[in-house]
Amino acid sequence: MITVFGSINMDLIATPDRLPKPGETVMGTSFTTAAGGKGANQALAARRAGAIVRMAGAVGDDRLASQALALLADAAVDQNGVRVAAEATGTAHILVAADGENVIVVVPGANGTVTGEDAKRTIGAMSRGDYLMLQFEIPASAIEAALVGAKQKGVTSIINTAPFTGDAKRLGAIADILVANETEFDLFIGKGELSDEEREATMRALHAQSGQTIIVTLGADGVVAIRKGEIHRAKGLAIEPVDTVGAGDTFCGYLAASLDAGLAFKDALRRAAVAGSLACLKPGAQPSIPFASAVDAEI
């Protein structure tokens, strides 16, 4: 079983022809809303991959909460770990201009109220051998408590270093499995942009020290990972991406679900990479997450 301890958001998306300057008002041409938050996205991906999934985190006591959780509810993701907070449901206010340029304001709201106590309750409801998925859209103190609790309980922790923060640099190293994209991994190392060779050498050196499984996603080039001293590579699909939003979250959810189902590590990487590619074929995060039937048909 997989528990995702993380953010739940509503994305509020307006599309003006061009972005307003400070103090200016411009007219928009459309408005859409979409359920989001990296935690919720990864929970849905793991569920669509076929796993039994519990979501843990916080939403507000407002109408946005039920919209933010709607696709998780449809997919039968267990929401017993989602607390109702006094703060509003987390929102991302997104403006996308006709040329694709965008500005985003994220208001964490209820996500920002998640605490170490929530972490304790979340880990308390898990069993030895389960998988815990974490990202960095809830407070670092809660993430740290969850990592410590997971270790004590014999739960395998997977941490996705997105969005990258100083906390990701500090806490990423504690998890059993680290998942970063290239940019995040380079920030994690802190030596500027690495070449492919440098990145692989760094992964080997880090792994030799810590024994941590390290996975770096490479966009169209797939993924490279190191586990138990061995480097693995996997490719996704050769596609023309429509919108890569959600590719990383889809990868993480499918990876956790595939490991939980007992797939060999290399096969889990390939399945997650293929799922990530398919997520690039539709716009949006949650709507673009593929179902297991579509992913497995490609493998």
Name residues contacting ligand ATP, limited to 149-178 (CB under 6 A).
Answer: 162
Nearest to 255 by CA among 245, 239, 267: 267
Q: Which residues pair with 10 in a beta bridge?
A: 35, 91
CA pair distance 100, 104, nearest whole angstrom: 13
How many binding residues for ligand ATP (CB under 6 A)? 23
- Minimum Å gap between C-beta 153 and ligand ATP is 28
Residue 194 counted as an annotated binding residue: no
Residue 218 counted as an annotated binding residue: yes
Q: How many residues does the chain have?
A: 299
217 binds ligand ATP (CB under 6 A): yes
CA pair distance 220, 218, nearest whole angstrom: 6
Rank residues 39 and 276 by Cβ distance to ligand ATP and give the closer one: 276
Instruction: Candidates 34, 142, 178, 218: give the one binding ligand ATP (CB under 6 A).
Output: 218
Six-digit token string for 33: 């809303």
Q: Among the candidate windows 4-12, 89-97, 123-131, 218-226, which touches ligand ATP by CB under 6 A?
A: 218-226
CB 258 within 8 A of CB 268: yes
Angle at 6 between CA 214 and CA 245, to 5 degrees: 70
Six-digit token string for 267: 């096969």
Name residues contacting ligand ATP, limited to 220-279 (CB under 6 A).
Answer: 220, 222-223, 236-237, 239, 241, 244-249, 251, 273, 276-277
Residue 9 counted as an annotated binding residue: yes
Residue 224 counted as an annotated binding residue: no
CB 84 within 8 A of CB 108: no
147 binds ligand ATP (CB under 6 A): no
Q: Is 150 left (phi over 0), alpha (psi -120 to 50) or beta?
A: alpha
- Minimum Å gap between C-beta 195 and ligand ATP is 17
Provide the annotated binding site: 9-11, 37-41, 137, 181, 217-222, 243, 245, 248-249, 279, 282, 284, 288
- Chain contacts with ligand ATP (rule: CB under 6 A): 162, 181, 217-220, 222-223, 236-237, 239, 241, 244-249, 251, 273, 276-277, 280
